[in-house]
Amino acid sequence: MRARKTIREEFIIDDEYYYKIIRHNIKKYRLDNNLTQQELADLTGYTREYICDIENQSRNKHFSLVVLTRISFALNKDIKDFFMFNSTLLVE
């Protein structure tokens, strides 16, 4: 009989994994909508610098679900779309 794995053994991913996917998708959807960071900032009420911090992988900026919700409304995307994995992340 095979031993059942614990949650810890089954999911070897952390918060940074999800932040990376979300950051990538925010930028992708912003560009798909032909928006600049300033235009997205204007739509959400955040600053361009804050949007830049969110999109920039190296700045390691964390953000809340409220922020993600405001961005999803501005980009006309369902919040779940930001969690969709894209294989291009493997080469970044």
Q: Which domain covers residue 57, as residue numbers?
A: 13-91
6 within domain boundaries: no
On the CB side of 62, CA atoms within 13 Å amount to 4
Residue 42 has a pLDDT of 98
| 38 touches 48 (CB < 8 A) | yes
Residue 91 has a pLDDT of 46
| 81 touches 29 (CB < 8 A) | yes
What is the CATH classification number for the domain harbouring 83?
1.10.260.40
| 30 touches 37 (CB < 8 A) | yes
Amino acid at 22: I
pLDDT mean by block of 10 residues, the chain; 92 residues: 60 81 95 98 96 87 91 97 75 48
